[in-house]
Structure 1
Amino acid sequence: MYRYFLDGMVHPERAQVPDRRISAKFRHVASGVDAKADVRILLNQVAVWVETEVEWNPLDLRNVVKNLVQLEMDMVGYVLGLTYDVEIRRAICSEVGLDIVFGINVPCISELHREVDLDARIAAMRPKLIGESGVFLHRCLRDLITAMKEPDDVAFHCYRAIESLRQHCIVTRSLDPKDKATQWKTLREIAGCDESATRLLEKAAQAPRHGEPEVVPEADAVKVLTTAWTIADGYILNC
């Protein structure tokens, strides 16, 4: 038996959450791991104990626990009309010598932009995000950020981000709003990508766009993220 302890917080800390105690048995669909979780939320501080029969990847464990606690906060928020966000900061397991503080980076994207000059890139982006057409680029960025935060919906948000770029094409290139073939063709020309890239995102997002539950394996999620970022990079720099 492996017993993990995870520490976290419910934001915003200034808006106190009613104390919560949750016990749940569940199966992580992607890995097939069965587990039991005991959750305690006191003064917005989150403490979670997870028991499993097998050693668990810390990132998968963090994502599962975050989703479990976020579900509780979403129900509270729905009933009370409040918005809460959950952060899981640390995981400890003495059986495997684990003691890790989680960062906020997504490694595949951090590596993709490892050589990027931050100030130069932002200086090039900033004027393009101003004004009426800039709204579409901002929506693209927001969806890409959300994709990093919500692994279960990574494909949905990545595809919607790229669709915002398509809408940007319509406005800035005076394209026919009904001619999607030309819109996608123009987007790909500006971004410098081929059709297979946008088709990959479209296919990955098909099920979640229609409300169907679908677990994206980690390798596929990395491919979806890096493809979306490559398209966005090319488009925003060249539009």
Structure 2
Amino acid sequence: MSGKVLPERANVNLPKSVVLKILPGRAIPEGSVVVVAVICSQISIVVHSREEIADLQALAHECEGMCRMIVDCLGFLLTCGYDIEVTQVSSAGGLHVVYGVKPADFRPIPYSDENIQSVFERLLTVPRDYQLQYRRALADYREAIRSHEDTAFFCYRVVEDLRQVFVVDEQGKEAQTWNRLWEALPVAEDTRAYVKDIIRPLATGNRHGGGSSISHELRLEMLEKTSKIIAAFVDWARMPKAAPTA
């Protein structure tokens, strides 16, 4: 598996390779050994396993998390905000996957070649009064896409970012702002319930240092539900005289 430390111009080097032994409960078979090296900002990850690993998607997510921790340790030591990107993974059996910047076969916001410009312009033209919360929501959604381990955490952050638009009284009850959010946005009842019953419990675990692994299918489901909430917010924000009510 290979990748890079960003920004590449930082020319990051690990003093030596890091060797990790895999414990039970991971996607990588127990007893496997993972060797991570970073030379001139180029990442090399080699997994030594007695078993064939068929799920390269899960393998990539596991290794990305390990590598991110290693680079974050170096960034903490040097006070540098490094990021990483896994670009490709290969198996001993000859299977080879090159990764892009989004989950495969995932397009929650429908568009075509004919209307992509108008859809993009619609997303860009959110009124100034709501842009701070909107920018934060988009930033958190970006991280939800990028971070498999923390998808739930960032998806819930997206909704909380947008909820801040509906805070009328800082001393008011949080439940009231949730009610204003859901009353204003044209989202289905099952989407609201999904945020409360699925995303929120997983996000709470992440937020408090816990959490559990999620399947690729559940991750895509959370991203899809969250994207629909963002799209609904854009529709609401662009409505004439849209404003939160007490």
TM surpasses 0.5: yes
Residue 168, structure 1, aligned to residue 162, structure 2: no
Partner residue, 1:105: 102
1:91–1:198 Cα change, 3 Å: closer
Q: Deviations over 1:87-130 (max 9, x none)?
A: 111112232x202211111236x3322436332122122231x6
Contact 2:109 2:227 in 1 (8 A): no
Q: Deviations over 1:117-155 (max 9, x none)?
A: 332122122231x63531001100100110111111111
- Structure having the larger proportion of residues in strand: 1
Amino acid at match of 2:175: A
Aligned ranges for residues 71-90 of structure 1 at < 5 Å?
A: 71-90=69-88
If the length of structure 1 is used for normalisation, what is the TM-score? Answer: 0.86
Partner residue, 1:18: 13
Q: Distance in 1 between matches of 2:180 and 2:92?
A: 55
- SS of the residue corresponding to residue 94 of structure 1 reads coil
Partner residue, 1:219: 217
- SS of the residue corresponding to residue 41 of structure 1 reads strand
Deviates more, 1:132-141 or 1:217-226: 217-226
Aligned to 2:175, which of 181, 192, 209? 181
If the length of structure 2 is used for normalisation, what is the TM-score? Answer: 0.83
Q: Which runs of 5+ in 1 are unaligned?
A: 1-5
1:133–1:228 Cα change, 3 Å: same
Partner residue, 2:242: none
Q: Distance in 2 between matches of 1:33 and 1:188?
A: 44
Contact 1:191 1:232 in 2 (8 A): no
Contact 1:30 1:217 in 2 (8 A): no
Residue 136, structure 1, aligned to residue 129, structure 2: no
Aligned to 1:198, which of 195, 200, 215? 195
Amino acid at match of 2:107: E
- Structure having the larger proportion of residues in helix: 1
Residue 145, structure 1, aligned to residue 142, structure 2: yes
The two structures, once aligned, show a CA RMSD in angstroms of: 2.1
Identity of aligned residues (%): 21
Alignment coverage as a number of residue pairs: 227
Q: Distance in 2 between matches of 1:84 and 1:166?
A: 30
Q: Distance in 1 between matches of 2:90 and 2:125?
A: 45
Amino acid at match of 1:169: F
Report deviation, 1:166.
Answer: 0.5
Amino acid at match of 2:210: E
Partner residue, 1:42: 39
Q: Distance in 2 between matches of 1:134 and 1:159?
A: 18
Contact 1:191 1:234 in 2 (8 A): yes
1:71–1:100 Cα change, 3 Å: same
- SS of the residue corresponding to residue 133 of structure 1 reads helix
Q: Distance in 2 between matches of 1:190 and 1:30?
A: 42
Q: Distance in 1 between matches of 2:92 and 2:181?
A: 51
Q: Distance in 1 between matches of 2:111 and 2:119?
A: 11
Q: Which runs of 5+ in 2 are unaligned?
A: 238-246
Partner residue, 2:61: 63
Partner residue, 1:3: none
- SS of the residue corresponding to residue 14 of structure 1 reads helix
Contact 2:3 2:87 in 1 (8 A): yes
Deviates more, 1:207-216 or 1:226-235: 207-216
Partner residue, 2:233: 235
